[in-house]
Structure 1
Amino acid sequence: VWLSVSGGEEMKNANPNLYQKLLSGPHNPQIAEIIRTDLPRTFPDNIFFNNTVNHQHQLYNILLAFAHQNEAVGYCQ
C-alpha cells in the first residue's frame, strides 16, 4: 500500500532499472568509504545488521545508490 500511496510505484515503473544503473555506474570513492566506515556502527544492536555481511552489503548498496541519486543530500550518518 505504501509504495502506491507514496508515488514510489509510479516512479519505479517510469525507470525500472534505476537502482541497478546507480549501483553499476561510477561511484564517488569518498562517499563509498564513509559508508563502509559507518556500516559496522549502524544499528549495532539490530540482529539484521550486526556482523551480517549480506545485510550490511544490502544496506551499503541502498545508501550508495541514494547518495548518488540525491547528490544535493549525499550521505551523512
Structure 2
Amino acid sequence: MDTDNETAKDRMPRIDTYGFKRPAEFDYAFYEDFYSRYLVVLTRRAEKWSMLLQKSTGVEKSLKVKRYIRKGIPNEHRSYVWMMVSGAQAKMEMNAGYYHSVLVDGQKNAKLVDAVVTDLNRTFPDNVNFEKNASPCFLQTLHNVLVAYGHHNKTVGYCQGMNFITGYLILIAKDEERAFWLLDALIGRILP
C-alpha cells in the first residue's frame, strides 16, 4: 500500500529481471522515471517481434531482422531468437539426447569436475539465482552445462571465466540443454 512517506526505492524490487541485486546507491527515482517512459518503446518492440515470429517458423536472415536485433530483442523472445540465429536450435534438434549422454560421460572426468566446482560459488555472487539457498538455484544447472561442455569440447575443456558466460546463458535460456547448445554455438562456431 502506497503512503506519502513511501519512496520509489521502497516500491522497486531490490533485484532486477535477471536476479542481480541492485547496489545500495541505486537511484530508484531516476530508474522509475526512465523506465516508465521506456516501457512504451519496449512494448512497441515486443509487439513487432511477436508479429514477425508469428509469420514464420524460424528467424530468417533479413535486413528487417538485423534491424530488430540491433534495437534489442525483448526478454520474452530472447531465448528463442538466440537459439535460432546462432544455429543452436538446429544443432540441438540434430543431436537429440547428446547433451545428456555427454553430461554423464563428463562426470567421470574428476579433473574437469574439480575445475568446474572450484568456480561455481564465484559465479555471480550478486545474483540471487546463484545462491545456494535460492529457489530455483542455478548452481547445479551451471555445473552440469560446464561439465558437459568441457567433455564435449576437449580442446577447450573448462576455462576460468566460462562460468560467467554460461551463467548468463542459463539466465536467458532458462533451460539447461538450451544453455549448453548456446555455449557450443558461441565458443565452437561464432567466436573462433
TM bracket (short chain): 0.7 to 0.9
Cα offsets for 1:17-56 (capped at 9, x unmatched): 1110111225310110111121111111111112247411
- Higher normalized contact order (CA 8 Å, seq sep 6+, divided by chain length): 1
From 37, 43, 53, give the equivalent of 2:118: 37
CA RMSD of superposed structures (Å):
1.5
Query: Relative to structure 2, which stretch is displaced further, 24-33 or 9-18?
Result: 24-33
The equivalent residue for 2:130 is 49
The equivalent residue for 1:18 is 98
> AA paired with 1:58?
T
The equivalent residue for 2:158 is 75
The equivalent residue for 1:65 is 148
**Structure 1: tracts of 5 or more residues without a match:** none
Question: How many residues align structurally?
Answer: 77
Which whole-Å CA distance do the structure 2 matches of 1:22 and 1:52 have between them? 28
- 2:86 aligned with 1:3: no
The equivalent residue for 2:10 is none
**Structure 2: tracts of 5 or more residues without a match:** 1-80, 161-192
Which whole-Å CA distance do the structure 1 matches of 2:133 and 2:95 have between them? 30
- TM-score, structure 2 as length reference: 0.38
SS in 1 for 2:154: coil
Structure-2 change in CA distance of 1:25 and 1:59 (3 Å): same
**Which structure would you say has the larger Rg?**
2
